[in-house]
Amino acid sequence: MLTCSRSVLILILVLLTPLSLFAPAQQGTRERVDLLVRGGIVITMDQNARVIEDGAVAVRGGRIVAVGQSASVDATYVADAEIDARGKAVIPGLINGHTHVPMTLFRGLADDLDLNEWLTKYIFPAEAKNVTEDFVRVGTRLALAEMIRGGTTTFCDMYYFENAVAEETAKAGVRGVLGETVIDFPVPDNKTYAEGLAYTERFIKRWQGHRLVTPAVAPHAPYTVSEEHLRAAHALANRTNAPLIIHVAETRKEVEDITKAKGVRPIEYLARIGFLNQRTIAAHVVHITDEEIAILKRYGVGVVHNPQSNMKLASGVAPVPQMLAADLAIGLGTDGAASNNDLNLWEEIDTVAKLHKVFSGNPRAIPARAAFEMATARGARALHMEGEIGSLETGKRADLVIVDMDRLHQTPRYDIYSQLVYATKAADVRTVIIEGRVVMRDGRLLTLNEEEVRQQAQSFRERIARSVSQKD
């Protein structure tokens, strides 16, 4: 070896030289990827808020391997499949941070009522009489189809028969953070809190590590679950390293009741019993003080704001500008379709931007980009998934949505965020990709049979309507 010639040494050096030094030669050796989405306006929602005109996203193994100019991505990658996004926007999949998908079957069952009357006279009786595993599957499929159509790729859910929700979600290829609701009264699938928590433990064991489904622990609310039971839920979440979802500070009455019973406000109470941590996801959070905002920030809690549900049920207006000023991890949710009445994130984005302007008297309160961020990058933080979703960046899950940008109501276009937030509708979504898999292509659902989903949902209508009109 010591006697090898100079030419052999040169050959060895050449072989060791990285390919990148021979850029023009690279064309023939482009890396193979599964899918290339090219030619669109790529709204990355990354930390620099990069917007790439004529951009491309390369996907392999369910993850994003490159985001950049179409020309430069083309030079590096060759794909098994391509999607032409010219003239369209390519955005991160939208994140619905709080919902109850099976309740979609109750859409419009009872509206314009006081929260208490709505719950006790309609929703609770309707649930007691109708919620079966079959109901949950049909309602979940209806919700999944509606969410995919509107460009939602991740949702956070709490309901009953959550194992059925998870199975349907995985089958449809949608991403979910899912928790069985545990509560201090009998529910359709669990007669006691202990049974509910045991169900949750089995549920977590079954789903943890799944590419799409993240199982969670989901005690209903501080006013429906005892302190002991909240502590038990928290312990289970700690032991399993699972997200911990809860409704909190939704109504003024809840704040009054908790303050009376516990001597402190709901967020303070949850902090005191050790419930808050970096896996907690708090839904609603309407009636809170500056001190409670500081607590949420200190513990790294994720918050999900549901503007349209809070409006329709007259729950109140959350101090969202203040929460954003504190850089809280705050996302957007639709809540269940029974209190909204749809699962349309675009309307929540539009509403969050407008509602807080008029409520604060400040037309700059939540600008378009900040509103859009709540349904994407900041929404991912609210679910503690910012490492995986919420932006189009190399290494993240390939959840992306292609949206028409040239419809009448989007013409002309000056600012891309303004157009996305104030003018774009769910019906403008064309193609949806989750974990690298195309689940809707050019308006056609690929993982669900839309006609069957609708017929099955409609078939529950009669029974449900009868169940709330009858006295029992």
Give the nearer residue to a second copy in terms of CB position, either 193 or 417: 417
112 binds a second copy (CB under 8 A): yes
**Residue keyed to tokens 């403008």:** 428
Closest contact distance (angstroms) between CB of 157 and a second copy is 17
- Largest Cα separation within the chain, whole Å, is 100
100 binds a second copy (CB under 8 A): no
Helix (H) or strand (E) holding 148: helix 133-149
Give the nearer residue to a second copy in terms of CB position, either 301 or 343: 343
Please spell the DSSP secondary structure of 223-286, one letter per residue.
TTS-HHHHHHHHHHHHHHT--EEEEES-SHHHHHHHHHHHSS-HHHHHHHTT--STTEEEEE--
Closest contact distance (angstroms) between CB of 420 and a second copy is 10
**CA atoms of 239 and 71, how far apart (whole Å):** 48
* Piece of 5-13, 50-58, 103-111, 321-329 that binds a second copy (CB under 8 A): 103-111
**CA atoms of 324 and 109, how far apart (whole Å):** 35
Q: CB under 8 Å to 14, separation ≥6 — which residues?
A: none
Please, which of residues 297-316 interact with a second copy by CB under 8 A? 308, 310-316
Closest contact distance (angstroms) between CB of 422 and a second copy is 4
Strand pairing category for 152-159 and 94-99? parallel
321 neighbors 356 (Cβ within 8 angstroms): yes
- Tell me which of 63, 231, 262, 413 binds a second copy, using CB under 8 A: 413
- Tell me which of 344, 376, 391, 431 binds a second copy, using CB under 8 A: 344
Closest contact distance (angstroms) between CB of 150 and a second copy is 8
Give the nearer residue to a second copy in terms of CB position, either 140 or 200: 140
Give the nearer residue to a second copy in terms of CB position, either 166 or 338: 338
Give the nearer residue to a second copy in terms of CB position, either 139 or 215: 139
107 binds a second copy (CB under 8 A): yes
- Tell me which of 78, 115, 170, 446 binds a second copy, using CB under 8 A: 115
Residue type present at position 90? V
For the record, the structure tokens of 194 come out as 């202990």
Instruction: Using CB atoms within 10 Å of the CB of residue 6, give its burial: 0 to 12 exposed, 13 to 18 middle, 19+ buried.
Output: exposed
464 neighbors 130 (Cβ within 8 angstroms): yes
Give the nearer residue to a second copy in terms of CB position, either 72 or 362: 362
For the record, the structure tokens of 378 come out as 């900041």
Count of residues engaged in binding a second copy, rule: CB under 8 A? 70
Instruction: Indicate the Cα dihedral angle 160, 207, 385, 312, nearest 10°.
Output: -10
For the record, the structure tokens of 149 come out as 């159509």
343 binds a second copy (CB under 8 A): yes
273 neighbors 237 (Cβ within 8 angstroms): no
* Piece of 100-108, 199-207, 231-239, 297-305 that binds a second copy (CB under 8 A): 100-108
- Tell me which of 16, 24, 414, 472 binds a second copy, using CB under 8 A: 414
**CA atoms of 71 and 256, how far apart (whole Å):** 59
88 neighbors 430 (Cβ within 8 angstroms): yes
Please, which of residues 345-364 interact with a second copy by CB under 8 A? 347, 350-351, 353-355, 357-358, 360-364
Q: Which DSSP letter does residue 428 get?
A: G
Give the nearer residue to a second copy in terms of CB position, either 188 or 367: 367
113 binds a second copy (CB under 8 A): yes
Closest contact distance (angstroms) between CB of 411 and a second copy is 5
Q: Smallest Cα–Cα separation from 282: which of 237, 331, 247, 326?
A: 247
For the record, the structure tokens of 166 come out as 């998870």
Closest contact distance (angstroms) between CB of 363 and a second copy is 4
Give the nearer residue to a second copy in terms of CB position, either 374 or 383: 374
Please, which of residues 445-464 interact with a second copy by CB under 8 A? 450, 453-454, 457-458, 460-461, 464
Q: CB under 8 Å to 314, separation ≥6 — which residues?
A: 115
Closest contact distance (angstroms) between CB of 459 and a second copy is 9
**362, HSE (Cβ side, Cα atoms, 13 Å):** 10
- Tell me which of 89, 182, 303, 365 binds a second copy, using CB under 8 A: 365
Per-residue x/- track, 137-156, a second copy (CB under 8 A): -----x--xx--xx------
341 to 104, 156, 308, 334, 427: CA distances (angstroms):
8, 17, 9, 9, 16
101 binds a second copy (CB under 8 A): no
Closest contact distance (angstroms) between CB of 118 and a second copy is 8
- Tell me which of 191, 406, 443, 449 binds a second copy, using CB under 8 A: 406
**24, HSE (Cβ side, Cα atoms, 13 Å):** 0
Site residues (CB under 8 A) for a second copy? 105, 107-115, 118, 142, 145-146, 149-150, 308, 310-317, 340-344, 347, 350-351, 353-355, 357-358, 360-365, 367-368, 406, 408-409, 411-415, 418-419, 422-423, 425-427, 450, 453-454, 457-458, 460-461, 464-465
